[in-house]
Amino acid sequence: MTNNYELYKVFYWAAKTGSLSQAAKALYITQPSVSHAIKQLEDSFGITLFYRTSRGVSLTQEGSLLYSYVEQSQIFIALAEEKMAALKNLDSGELRIGGSDSLFKHFLLPYLEEYHRKYPGIRLHLNHGTTPEVITFLKEGRIDLGVVRLPIVDPQLEVRESIQLQDCFVAGERYAELRDKTLSLPELMEYPVILFSRNSRARMTITELFQSYGHKLKPEIEVGSVDLLIEFARRGLGISYVTREFVSQELDNGSLFEIKLDVDIPPSHLGTMTMRNMPLTSAATRFLEMV
């Protein structure tokens, strides 16, 4: 028996064309090389695969049986090569991204729209979660890349910094008396504060900021989405902690205004993360180049 794939390829073309010279031409090798390869294959099986005719070569009964199997393998290999070319050229495939609802809506959506327009054959799979959940998705192989708030310190991850964001407290018309005031942290805590209920990076950041000044921030209301943070503040249910860039429209039209504080809220950064030393698909690589 032989594990030399090249011998089977020579056998396939000789059988397909019925000619040693045509097989040599198809494979860009010499006719003696074709004859030698076939002899090697026949010797390995101990049977004759071809017999010569006036027009070239024909398969023996045993050769026909072998050809029926080899032909199938050639078809699958050709299909595989076509599939690999399609994946490389982004004609097909999938892109799996992890991130929060707010980042998908307010940051990633324009990039996803452009990507889908350029590569409509790529299927998009979006996995929603907090930063810790997205990290888990990535390590479990459920996504190709994650988009999260930084910092992320993990030796298993490759992190690329993207844009800077600024979080702030916002309120609606019900708290209009605060529009031109600057509040201290204790004064802010006298009002109902609305925070994201899950273990998000933004929630941890503001909690740590209050703790650094000796205060424990306890929200009056907790909600499960950034859209609800914005809507609750707009309807006057309290003062919400949101990302300024995500409420630019509401700040511009006056349905929300920013609460000024006597301390600075440090900016945060967005970044993309992938598994270190793990090759990326062509689809994921191209998306990272766009973001």
Check pLDDT > 60 for residue 1: no
Whether residue 4 has pLDDT greater than 90? no
Banded model confidence at residue 131, pLDDT cuts 50, 70, 90: confident
User: Do 287 and 115 meet the contact criterion of CB atoms below 8 Å apart?
Assistant: yes
Whether the predicted pLDDT of 186 surpasses 80: yes
Distance CA 216, CA 218 (A): 6
pLDDT at 102: 87
Whether the CB-CB separation of 140 and 111 falls below 8 Å is answered with no
82 pLDDT higher than 80: no
* Average pLDDT for 1-21: 88
Question: Whole-angstrom Cα distance, residue 219 to residue 123?
Answer: 39
Residue 110 — pLDDT band, cuts 50, 70, 90? very high
Give the distance from CA 167 to its chain's centroid: 26
User: Over 90: is that where the pLDDT of 43 sits?
Assistant: yes
Average pLDDT over residues 86-98: 86
Residues in CB range of 143: below 8 A, 6 or more apart: 96, 97, 98, 125, 127, 134, 137
Q: Which of 186, 200, 191, 201 is nearest to 171 (CA)?
A: 191
Res 111: pLDDT: 95
Mean confidence (pLDDT) of the chain: 92
- Taken in order of first residue, the domains within the chain and their CATH numbers are 5-88 (1.10.10.10), 93-164+270-290 (3.40.190.10), 167-266 (3.40.190.10)
pLDDT in tens, 213-269: 999 999 999 998 889 999 999 999 999 999 999 999 999 999 999 999 999 999 999
What is the model's pLDDT at position 3? 63
pTM above 0.75, yes or no: no
Whole-number Å distance between alpha carbons of 30 and 21: 8
In sequence order, what DSSP letters do the residues of 77-138 get, joined into one string? HHHHHHHHHHHHTTSSEEEEEEE-HHHIIIIIHHHHHHHHHH-TTEEEEEEE--HHHHHHHH
Task: Give tens-digit pLDDT for 146-177.
Answer: 999 998 889 999 999 989 999 999 999 999 99
111 within 8 A of 287, measured Cβ to Cβ: yes
